Structure 1
Amino acid sequence: MAGYVTIILLLLLPAAVSGAASGGGGCIGAMVDDTSRAGKEEKLAMEMAMEDFTVSGVDVGSPAVAVVLCTMASNGDPVRAASAALSLINERGARALVGLHSWQEAAFVAEIGRQAMVPVLSFAAAAAPSTSRRWPFLVRVARGQHAQMRAVAAVVGSWQWRRVAVLYEDADYGGGAGVFPHLADALRAVGSEVDRRVPVPASPSGDALRRSLGDLMGGQCRVFVVHTSAKVAVALFAEASRMGMMATGYVWIVTDAIAGAIDSLDAAAVSTMQGVIGVRNHISMDTNSKNTRDRLIARLRKRFRSQYPGDDGGGGGGGDNDKTRGPHYPALLAYDTIVAVASAMRKTNATAPTRATDPNPSSPDSGETIKIAVSSNGTELLREVKSVRFRGVSGEFGFVDGEFSPPVRFQLINVAAPRYHELGFWSPEHGFSKSAGGCSHRGGDGGGECEPSMRFLGPVIWPGKPWDVPRGWAPPANGSPFTVAVPEKAAFPDFVKVTRHHGRGGDDDDEPSFEGFSIDVFKAAVEHLPYNFHYKFVSFNGTYDSLMQHDYMKSYDILVGDTSISSGRYKFVEFSQPYTESGLVMVVPFSADTWDRSWIFLRPFSPAMWLLIAAVGLYNGVAIWLMERRHNGDYRDGVWKQVTIVLWLSLAALLSPGEEERRLRSSLSKASMAVWLLVAVVLATNYTASLSSLMTAQRLGREAAVTAESLRSAAGAVVGCTEGSVVGRYLEEVLMFPGHRVRRLAGDEEHRRALVSGEVKAAFLRVSHAKLLLAKYCNELMTTGPVYHVAGLGFVFPKGSPLLADISQAILEVFENGTIQRLETAMLSAYNCTAAAAAAAMDGGAGDLYRLGPENYWGLFLMTLFASTASLAAYGVFFHHDTSCGSGGGGGGGGAVITGGHRKQGDGRKDSATVDPGGSSHGDEAPSSASVTAGHGGKDTEMVVISMA
């Protein structure tokens, strides 16, 4: 940089030494561009600022100060700017320099200002690193770039564009490249990144612009951020329009240097920018400041028409065009800058003559010298300028830590005929809002509501097509469909299978078919994309790692397969959202504990259920015995025999349904037994079903299964994993299995054979692969141990693929609507193992699932208890009535003795019975019956006598 400045100063030597510092009053040197409308507006604004400042000083009674404005044209040329600076300092006695919109100008003049100790106030937005240390007298009157880049990133994030191309002005000493760190950080915060950086010459030619834009057209990224001067932007958009890059599918976002100057552009330039989104600084003003600004703008318009009648552009007709033709922010900022510098000069009395000119050697080895007048109070003036703070016509004017105060809010505009629409505002604190006042706060003042996305601001007119939101990227330039790689040698064909149909008409080059769970998930995800996605499946013969690590997926756009997501692979490629359950499980051969197997017949019912069955059965047995013992001699002989009969009656319904009921005599006992038989049939049916399920699941003794720790400590124990999977590395690096004890297995059949034969003690598989293996061999294999937390399966993309975000979002949608679950169920149900058995093999045991308890059968038990109790109660009522009547006889026909329910005739006649209350009069030994009449109270009484002899 210093070398360039030295060369320029040598070229300007004659002009520098031709004049000496004049002693007059203090001068503010202004370097303007009188070839552009914006430069002319700035020049007039500076002149009016000087006039207003002088008048205000006289009005307040201040002593007359010799502060004047000295203007020279630099027209954006660094050499002319340096020459003008030397002339203004040496010949006009300038104490400060103002202007310089380009960084090239500012860099040259800043070196002159450092040697002359003259503050240089530059309007250049860009800045090289460490400018304050290199050029301490350079003061940038431009808003910082960091907040503006955050606003740009917020726009990008609102529409979920993942990659952005940046076009910047290719200027030396910083230029547009200085914003990249800020923009890159802001984009990363919203999940996006810079795709490429395209420099644009500061004085672009048609060929240079075509080359720069041609590089962008060849890529897939269609979101462009333009950070250049307004002059360069006009040429850039004109060329982009001619190349068809202002059509549907493109997105253009411009920064404040362009958006803030759009009002001063002519209609032809604006017409080439239709659909552009602009981010510009917003000026916040109170009522008094706004009135002052409006009056100043009216004066500036009037003077501009007077001095530049042919450059007015509005024909003096006023109207809308008159309102939009300026002057605008750059001119208003120039006005406030002159006021600030003049105020600082007044306070520091910077009207004293400069010191004698000091020779400054241009080079240590040359005898040439350039004499530059050195300001006597430049340091004091610089300090006073940086301390100025006031509310001007351009908003808050002041410096914070030596930097111009950053903007607090940005306005978003959308370029559309006739000029632009104001969409809304963005601030770092509140995000997007429709009101300049920001968000409303509870109990306080404020504007409208705020949102983190600009979508709620309303529709945006995009280039080419008004309402459709561009997706931000385009297919390959040649128009060919996206290539989707599918592996030919997948370990599990149910996930991915490539079938070649050879022999059709002798043609061996027929198109292969692509099937499997992963293929179906991909097709379902593509259907949820918001645009037509043209793709073509292409098979490859190789491993996943070879494709990802060596080819970096450069030959394909997507890899669809049962590919495991891992951090190691992320170094080479990127992965979509997982489309399967995450986790790693251990599959082992099925083995049940021998002891538990012997007692499996007890498992269908819980212990409480068995106790309840025994209690209810015993109760029913006692009830039937009581009601039946009067009619069957076997029910009356010996205590132990009666106990045996009661126990048999308790179990008869369960062990021999219907057999015992045929031997019963009493109608009441038969009714009780019928209900008990119904309950027994239901219990037996459920017991059989539960026992069958338990025998199928075969999950006894699961807790005693093999663990990873026991396998690792067992000498010679070999474990398996899928060939080509990252699981093998996980076993060695995380679970600490020696490499020689980890065997790679190919295919589900090889997994089964190795496990069943004992070649491997356990196989570690992804959850999705384990489900498939158990669906096929659920009677031979089972899972055990914990689930190890590893990622699931996903689709693979090259680094920076624009498809990644859209496909991941589509996978989430098909996950949430149940499509993936249905596809997985269809894959697993294609095999013979029942779904219940496969689920039992996966969940580590289903013994308790099939065990039945009393809560399932309360209704049945209440039915049989009620039937037995009711029958016994009826029997007791009738029995009590008969015994009461028989015991009351006296006189006449001789008494009958009744003992224990039996009655013995006193006259020696045979035992007789006429009616059995609740029973039958038939039997193996039917008793005889007779009518016995006894006198009782003068009446004849007929008694029923039951003989038990």
Structure 2
Amino acid sequence: MFFLSSLYVSLIICVFFIFCINAQNNSSSITLFKVGVVLDLGFTALSDYYSVDRNYTAKLVLHVRDSNWQVINAADSALSLLKDEEVDAIIGPQKSAQSTFVIGLADRANVPVISFSATSPSLYPHTPYFVQATIIDSAQVGAIVDIVKYFNWSQVVIINEESDYGNGINPYLSNALHDANARVSHRSLIPSAASDDFVLHELYKMKTMQTRVFVVHISSSLASKFFPKVKEAGMMSKGYAWIVTSGLMDLLYSLDSDVVESMEGVIGVKPLIPRSKRLGSTAKRWKKKFIHDNPNFLQAEFGLYGIWAYDALWALAMAAERVQFTEQISSLQNTSFLNSTDRFTTNISKKGPKLQEALLDVSFQGLGGKFHLVNGQLKSSSFQILNVVGKGGREVGIWTPPDKILSEENVNITSSSRIELKSIVFPGDTTSVPKGWEVPVSGKKLRVGVPVVGGFKEFVRVEKDPQTNVSKVSGCYIDMFNAVMAELPYAVPYEYIPFGTLDDSGSVSYDELCYQVLLKKYDAAVGDFTATSKRLDYVDFTLPFEAGGITAVKLHNKADHDKWFFLGPFETKLWLTTIALFIFTGLVIWILEHRFNNAYRGPPAQHTGMIFYFAFMSLAFAQRERIVSNLARFVVVVWMFVVLILTSTYTAYLSTRLTVQNLKPHVSHPNIGDKVGCRNVSFLFDYLQKLGYEKITTYNNAAEVNEALVKREISAFFSVKPYTDLFLSYYPNKYKETDQTYPSVGFAYAFGKGSPLVADVSRAVIKLTDNSRLFEIKQKWIKEVDNEQKSKDSFELAASLEDFKALYGISGGIVATCLLVFIATYLYTNRDFVQRISNSNTTFWSKARAIGKHFDQRDPKSFRSSKYREDGVDASPSINENIRSSTVVPISTTDLNDANGDTSPNSEHTASPDLQTR
């Protein structure tokens, strides 16, 4: 193969240049170092002549073996070199798989192995006698990951060759992508000898996936078959992005033109080789000689592997020169090995360890830049970022490790903190950056699962159209999702698929729906999904579009219709003490005034009434009875002060309960032992159990919750904040939130694991939140609730009739009782008149009018005699005056006629004796 020929010729020319620098020396003073060369020649080796500088004290003698691309042949070649030639060092082999066997054999003989093309990071550290004089594959991982970060690609597909070379980079690349928040959505292993059908099958499988960013790590031989099939599958078109590693990018020149054409738009990386006159001169001389010796090859490049081979041999020659021997040294044989029948038994080299030690200390400016080994590996360098355009790669940037700074000016530097690339031509001959994913080519819409739940349908509502029998999805959160998807910079077709049946409302499991997304039955789930750690095992959540928080609602104090609220300001003991003190004070006043004040004299019944009357009328300072005793006056003054404090305190406490509590409510949280409730589709059931609640009841809708709270079946209802607000809007002022809120993430949209939509939807949520669009959508739905579903049980903050029902009942009952007693007494006293009226043959209204006129007359027996007037104390002067001027007006003849049923004008009647003036 052309590539193999280049490697071999590069190696031979390198050795030739090394030994032609200085003049020749006497061969008797030269220490010979036998160096085995295991290469995949593929054709007859070129000349192996070297001129030796006379100043050299050491000489590399090459013994070349051809492994012919076979692992077994490479191991056999190495064994032959170690046993037959007793070499002190081995250069090669080229393939990582071959190196594993060669390293094991060389380690037993203490012979260093120097590889300039085995780049797999898995080869080290197998043995201290292995040197990778090349940039290992893991060094380019940082450049690849930063390219992914630069274009904001959230996930990639890794395609690698199924070999030691292809698999070696996998753990490093996967970990680096994970650290950069880029997910590896799929890995594809392509065998080295894969058929065209196998490659196409893998490509079509990846084409049905969403990811459109591919990182390819394969050999040049496999690439010659792979990329033409990529183009055939239609995956080198607009929307795709391909990144290839340095192993392929450096050999781009060796690929056929049709292969390079199929790679148009590919991005690649390869180690940066600084330009120098020495490199240019060496490459020119090598190319001239190569074309002269191989006239059939019109194009040749002194590539990376040739440069590393040159520097590796140069370093080995310098190491051999540093190993000083004062006497002729030969390999020491181990007799135990010689006597062994093991065909893998080899001699142990004494030069090998010294040569290995010197090689690790070599440092010089080589063709590839600074040659310096770190832990047996060539120190990593900067990387070129190339774009395949036309017949080759065009440099679009340079990536530098974080711990290295480029001194060149006017270069594009790509690092974790700074990245800048020139315009890149992507597949499809476009400079538009692919977004990194697409809806699968199957043409299916994004399947969005929507839970079918009962109650609170303002948020998520699933109904069936009676005409078309098609489920219709609507609601506040559905409108929000529509707005978010419309905000995306690209169109994403999607369809809503109800999860659950309309006959089974309220029994669906949100966790189960998330699990169905994991099983890829749905691509996303939309609704009132709270992001929980359990659900994160199934889906990836966007940023919350609705605030979280777990709260509880309880019946508001006023909503309790506490008929005895006016007793609340004082405790029971205070009420009883106050009443007793009222009675005691009234009794004391009566005792002090009884002997001196006519107002406090009279029948026993009047004494009792006066005691209670004076005590309780003092609350309103409305008593009119004069106090004549100084002791009584002193008691009254003190008592009035007590009453003033008492009424002021009562008023203040009652005002607080009726006003301040409504303005700044404080509702205590339910106790752990209380009966509580939550929605039956909510995660809160398990959450409440973790908090310690054991008596938990689930409900489907707000009506059930309201009924349970009113009937005291539960003391509180737990829900997330949006549902709490919605429930309170159903029953304004009837319920209040408790004073404790448990944290929760909030409502978010759920997508399949690794979905690229998560990041873009989250950005759209932030935008719509900032411009209040989501708030406006919510206000639209909540406003409809306020106007259409306002509960009849709601009431204003002002005191209602229900609040005074007990107070008015007591007062009304007392008044009604007194009225009934009076009416009964009146009817009994005037029973003759009432009997005569009722027996009269008149209309009902005539009887009522006659009784009314009779009732309107004054009863002289209700007035007190003036004999109670003593010592200037007038018990009731106005009453006495009325007695003196009292005259009873008789019932008119017309009324009596009406009452008796006689309408004759000649009839004459006189008033009943009971109605005559006394």
Paired residue type of 2:738? T
Q: Identify the residue that residue 396 of structure 1 maps to in structure 2.
A: 370
| From 99, 105, 122, the counterpart of 2:115 | 122
Matches within 5 A, 1:28-177: 35-36=1-2, 38-58=3-23, 62-63=55-56, 65-127=58-120, 129=122, 131-133=124-126, 135-171=127-163, 174-177=164-167
Are the aligned partners of 2:543 and 2:765 in contact in 1 as well (CA < 8 Å)?
Answer: yes
Paired residue type of 1:561? G
* Separation in structure 1 between the aligned mates of residue 685 and residue 380 of structure 2, nearest angstrom: 55
Identity of aligned residues (%): 26
Displacement of 1:772:
1.7
Displacement of 1:557:
0.6
Are the aligned partners of 2:121 and 2:137 in contact in 1 as well (CA < 8 Å)?
Answer: no
Q: Identify the residue that residue 547 of structure 1 maps to in structure 2.
A: 513
SS of residue matched to 2:438: coil
Displacement of 1:184:
1.7
What are structure 2's unaligned runs of at least 5 residues? 25-52, 501-507, 568-654, 799-918
Change (3 A) 1:450 1:162: closer
Are the aligned partners of 2:517 and 2:524 in contact in 1 as well (CA < 8 Å)?
Answer: no
Cα deviation digits, residues 810-846 of structure 1 (max 9, x gap) = 2222222221111111111113379999xx99xxx99
Are the aligned partners of 2:79 and 2:344 in contact in 1 as well (CA < 8 Å)?
Answer: no
Displacement of 1:494:
0.6
Are the aligned partners of 1:583 and 1:787 in contact in 2 as well (CA < 8 Å)?
Answer: yes
Paired residue type of 2:440? P
Q: Identify the residue that residue 922 of structure 1 maps to in structure 2.
A: none
Displacement of 1:788:
2.2
Paired residue type of 2:148? V
Change (3 A) 1:371 1:188: closer
Cα deviation digits, residues 843-894 of structure 1 (max 9, x gap) = xx99xxxxxxxxxxxxxxxxxxxxxxxxxxxxxxxxxxxxxxxxxxxxxxxx
1:723 and 2:723 matched = no
Q: Identify the residue that residue 421 of structure 1 maps to in structure 2.
A: 394
Paired residue type of 1:68? V
Paired residue type of 1:195? S
* Separation in structure 2 between the aligned mates of residue 425 and residue 402 of structure 1, nearest angstrom: 26
Cα deviation digits, residues 439-479 of structure 1 (max 9, x gap) = xxxxxx99678775887423321112412322222323422
Matches within 5 A, 1:423-462: 423-429=396-402, 437=407, 452=416, 456-462=420-426
Displacement of 1:792:
0.5
SS of residue matched to 2:521: coil
| From 273, 280, 301, the counterpart of 1:326 | 301
SS of residue matched to 2:135: coil
SS of residue matched to 1:94: coil
Are the aligned partners of 2:402 and 2:416 in contact in 1 as well (CA < 8 Å)?
Answer: no
* Separation in structure 1 between the aligned mates of residue 61 and residue 258 of structure 2, nearest angstrom: 38
SS of residue matched to 2:434: coil
Q: Identify the residue that residue 354 of structure 1 maps to in structure 2.
A: 331
Change (3 A) 1:406 1:458: closer
Cα deviation digits, residues 527-578 of structure 1 (max 9, x gap) = 1222221111111213212223477453111111111111122122222211
1:537 and 2:496 matched = yes
Are the aligned partners of 1:224 and 1:253 in contact in 2 as well (CA < 8 Å)?
Answer: yes
Matches within 5 A, 1:242-641: 242-284=232-274, 290-313=276-299, 325-348=300-323, 352-355=329-332, 369-370=343-344, 372-407=346-381, 409-429=382-402, 437=407, 452=416, 456-502=420-466, 504=467, 510-541=469-500, 542-549=508-515, 552-592=518-558
Change (3 A) 1:458 1:511: farther
Are the aligned partners of 1:127 and 1:178 in contact in 2 as well (CA < 8 Å)?
Answer: yes
SS of residue matched to 1:56: coil
Are the aligned partners of 2:56 and 2:321 in contact in 1 as well (CA < 8 Å)?
Answer: no
Displacement of 1:495:
0.8
Q: Identify the residue that residue 762 of structure 1 maps to in structure 2.
A: 716
Q: Identify the residue that residue 198 of structure 2 maps to in structure 1.
A: 208
* Separation in structure 2 between the aligned mates of residue 284 and residue 132 of structure 1, nearest angstrom: 29
Are the aligned partners of 1:745 and 1:751 in contact in 2 as well (CA < 8 Å)?
Answer: yes
SS of residue matched to 1:561: coil
Q: Which structure has the larger Rg? A: 2
Displacement of 1:164:
1.6
* Separation in structure 2 between the aligned mates of residue 723 and residue 328 of structure 1, nearest angstrom: 69
* Separation in structure 1 between the aligned mates of residue 137 and residue 161 of structure 2, nearest angstrom: 15
Moved more, 720-729 or 819-828: 720-729
Are the aligned partners of 2:460 and 2:478 in contact in 1 as well (CA < 8 Å)?
Answer: yes
* Separation in structure 2 between the aligned mates of residue 217 and residue 745 of structure 1, nearest angstrom: 46
Displacement of 1:266:
3.9
SS of residue matched to 1:831: helix
Are the aligned partners of 1:437 and 1:447 in contact in 2 as well (CA < 8 Å)?
Answer: no
Displacement of 1:245:
2.0
Change (3 A) 1:595 1:698: farther
Moved more, 293-302 or 589-598: 589-598
Paired residue type of 2:521? S
Paired residue type of 2:528? D
Change (3 A) 1:147 1:817: farther
Q: Identify the residue that residue 904 of structure 1 maps to in structure 2.
A: none
SS of residue matched to 1:461: coil
Are the aligned partners of 2:92 and 2:116 in contact in 1 as well (CA < 8 Å)?
Answer: yes
| From 720, 725, 732, the counterpart of 1:771 | 725
Displacement of 1:157:
2.0
* Cα root mean square deviation, aligned: 3.6
Cα deviation digits, residues 618-664 of structure 1 (max 9, x gap) = xxxxxxxxxxxxxxxxxxxxxxxxxxxxxxxxxxxxxxxxxxxxxxx
Are the aligned partners of 1:42 and 1:335 in contact in 2 as well (CA < 8 Å)?
Answer: no
Paired residue type of 2:165? G
1:707 and 2:668 matched = yes
Q: Identify the residue that residue 736 of structure 1 maps to in structure 2.
A: 692
Are the aligned partners of 1:256 and 1:279 in contact in 2 as well (CA < 8 Å)?
Answer: yes
SS of residue matched to 2:738: strand
Are the aligned partners of 1:592 and 1:700 in contact in 2 as well (CA < 8 Å)?
Answer: no
* Separation in structure 2 between the aligned mates of residue 511 and residue 233 of structure 1, nearest angstrom: 51
Displacement of 1:298:
1.4
Are the aligned partners of 2:210 and 2:438 in contact in 1 as well (CA < 8 Å)?
Answer: yes
Matches within 5 A, 1:928-947: none
* Separation in structure 2 between the aligned mates of residue 796 and residue 422 of structure 1, nearest angstrom: 41
Paired residue type of 1:402? G
Q: Identify the residue that residue 656 of structure 1 maps to in structure 2.
A: none
* Separation in structure 1 between the aligned mates of residue 564 and residue 371 of structure 2, nearest angstrom: 87
Instruction: Give the alignment's TM-score, normalised by structure 2.
Output: 0.67
What are structure 1's unaligned runs of at least 5 residues? 1-34, 314-324, 439-444, 600-693, 847-949
Displacement of 1:120:
1.3
* Separation in structure 2 between the aligned mates of residue 305 and residue 183 of structure 1, nearest angstrom: 39
Q: Identify the residue that residue 320 of structure 1 maps to in structure 2.
A: none
Q: Identify the residue that residue 899 of structure 1 maps to in structure 2.
A: none
* Separation in structure 2 between the aligned mates of residue 78 and residue 396 of structure 1, nearest angstrom: 32
* Separation in structure 1 between the aligned mates of residue 659 and residue 483 of structure 2, nearest angstrom: 37
Displacement of 1:310:
1.3
Displacement of 1:61:
6.7
Change (3 A) 1:101 1:530: farther
* Separation in structure 2 between the aligned mates of residue 130 and residue 102 of structure 1, nearest angstrom: 11
Displacement of 1:64:
5.3
Change (3 A) 1:73 1:449: closer
Displacement of 1:127:
4.0
SS of residue matched to 1:83: helix
Cα deviation digits, residues 341-388 of structure 1 (max 9, x gap) = 1111222258954345878599x9xx6635644423111111211221
Paired residue type of 1:523? N
Instruction: Give the alignment's TM-score, normalised by structure 1.
Output: 0.65
Matches within 5 A, 1:837-848: none
Change (3 A) 1:546 1:562: same
SS of residue matched to 2:194: coil
Are the aligned partners of 2:249 and 2:269 in contact in 1 as well (CA < 8 Å)?
Answer: yes
